[in-house]
Chains A and B, each alone.
Chain A
Amino acid sequence: MSLHVSKAAPTPGALTRMIRGLLLGAALSAPALVFAGTTTAEVNTTGLAVTDTTVTVGQLHSATGTMAISETGSIQAERLAIEQINEAGGILGRKIEIIQEDGASDWPTFAEKARKLLVNDKVAAVFGCWTSASRKAVLPVFEKENGMLYYPTFYEGLEQSKNVIYTGQEATQQIIAGLDWLAKNKGAKKFYLIGSDYIWPRTSNKIARKHIENVLKGEVVGEDYFPLGHTQFGSLINKIKLKKPDAVYSIIVGGSNVSWWKQLKAAGVTADKQTILTISVTEDEILGIGGENIVGHYAAMKYFQSLENENNQKFVAAFKAKYGKDAVIGDVTQAAYLGPWLWKAAVEKAGSFDVDKVAAASPGIELKDAPEGYVKVHENHHLWSKLRIGQAQADGQYKVLYESELIEPNPFPEGYQ
Chain B
Amino acid sequence: MDGMTFSELGSVLVMQGFNGLSFFSVLLLMALGLAIIFGQMGVINMAHGEFLTIGAYTTYLLSVLATDYAPWFMDYYFLAAIGVGFLVAFGVGYLVEWLMIRHLYRRPLDSLLATWGLSLIMQQAFRSTFGPKEVSATLPDWLMGSYAPSDSIDIPLNGLFVMALTLLLTFVVALLIFRSRWGLHVRATTQNRAMSGAVGIDTARVDRLTFALGCGIAGVAGAAFTTIGSTGPTSGSLYIVDTFLVVVFGGAQSLLGTIASAFSIAQAQSTLEFFMTGSMAKVLTLLTIIGILMLRPEGLFRIRVRK
Contacts and interface: CB of A to CB of B under 8 A. Distances in A.
A284 B238 CA distance: 20
B129 interface: no
Contact of A69 (B134, B145, B148, B270): B134
B228 A262 contact: yes
A288 B278 contact: no
A258 to B, nearest CB: 3
Main secondary structure on chain A at its contact with chain B?
helix
Task: Categorize the interface residue count of chain A.
Answer: 35 or more
Contact of B233 (A68, A263, A268): A68
A315 to B, nearest CB: 19
Interface string A223-245: 11111011110111111011110
Given A266-B146, A266-B157, A288 B231 contact: yes
A266 B156 contact: yes
Interface in B266-282: 269-271, 273-274, 277-279, 281-282
Interface string A245-265: 000000000011111001101
B273 A266 contact: no
Contact of B273 (A236, A258, A268, A292): A236
Contacts of A123: none
Interface residues of B, number: 56
Most buried by B among A226, A232, A258, A290: A232
Interface stretch (B19-27, B67-75, B106-114, B201-209): B19-27
B191 to A, nearest CB: 35
A289 interface: yes
A250 to B, nearest CB: 13
B228 A259 contact: yes
A172 interface: no
Contacts of B22: 234
Contacts of A268: 145-146, 148, 154, 156
Most buried by B among A242, A244, A287: A242
19 contacts: A64-B124, A69-B232, A224-B277, A226-B277, A227-B279, A227-B282, A234-B23, A238-B12, A238-B19, A242-B1, A255-B235, A266-B144, A266-B159, A267-B15, A268-B145, A287-B136, A288-B230, A290-B137, A293-B144
Interface of B: 1, 3-4, 8-9, 12, 15-16, 18-19, 22-23, 26, 124, 127, 131-139, 144-146, 148, 152, 154, 156-159, 227-235, 237-239, 269-271, 273-274, 277-279, 281-282
